[in-house]
Amino acid sequence: MEQQDHSAMEHQQVFKKLSVNGEPHSVGFSVHHSLLEVLREQMQLTGTKHGCELGECGTCTVLIDGQPVLSCLELAVECEGREITTVEGMMIGNDLHPLQEAFADLGAAQCGYCTPGILMTAKALLEENPAPTRDEVVSALAGNLCRCTGYHKILEGIDWAAAKMRGDEDFRPPREAIYGDPLPGEEPSDA
């Protein structure tokens, strides 16, 4: 195959206003850079992860105008005028988002690399559907791979966060799902 000298090619630079997590940012970048590259390298928002870079793993998922998309396959130059939400924008004031809280309480992350993408996908799901069935959660997460957890705690975390967001105070995740200390008001398990 013919080898191309990439360094010799002039990079077309642009300067764009991107709206990320509700704040406008003026950012300069090469026009062929993905949103993922610009978020991480120009804006230092490193919560969004580089995974396969080919649209197969979902770990780079961010929300654009509320919908989950893959930042590795979206050119940043196409994002002007659209609202971008990353995992850094999930907290509500100084409080964790209920999904973040539930994931932490249930240990729904092991290595944690897929977690930002899964949180974003789940956030979009719960905003559209506050009481999803297990099948609906599984379908929504079809594009987010996790190689550690086996998904059970992730699914239970989303169920619990959904209940919290609906104000369903009676909902309790399965006892065996709870990691470490018991939940407030619960007895420690024998294990």
Phi, psi angles (nearest 5°) of residue 8: -75, -20
Please say which residue, 142 or 191, places its beta carbon nearer to other proteins. 142
Residue 168 tokens, joined = 């369903």
Residue 183 tokens, joined = 């939940």
Question: Number of residues in contact with other proteins, rule: CB under 8 A?
Answer: 32
The half-sphere exposure of 55 on its side-chain side, counting CA atoms within 13 A, is 4
Binding mask 8-37 for other proteins (x = CB under 8 A): -xxxx-----------------xxxxx---
Q: Are the C-beta atoms of 83 and 66 separated by less than 8 Å?
A: yes
Establish if 96 lies at the interface with other proteins (CB under 8 A). Answer: no
| Residue 109 CB partners (closer than 8 Å, separation 6+) | 103, 115, 148, 149
The residue from 21, 43, 51, 74 that contacts other proteins (CB under 8 A) is 74
CB of 190 to other proteins, least distance (A): 36
Helix or strand or coil: residue 171? coil
Establish if 73 lies at the interface with other proteins (CB under 8 A). Answer: yes
Establish if 148 lies at the interface with other proteins (CB under 8 A). Answer: no
Establish if 54 lies at the interface with other proteins (CB under 8 A). Answer: yes
Residue 70 tokens, joined = 């893959």
CB of 94 to other proteins, least distance (A): 30
The residue from 55, 83, 101, 113 that contacts other proteins (CB under 8 A) is 55
**C-alpha–C-alpha distance, residues 170 and 95, integer Å:** 22
Q: Which residue ranges make up the site for other proteins (CB under 8 A)?
A: 1, 4, 6, 9-12, 30-34, 53-55, 58, 61, 67-70, 73-75, 77-78, 121, 138-140, 142-143
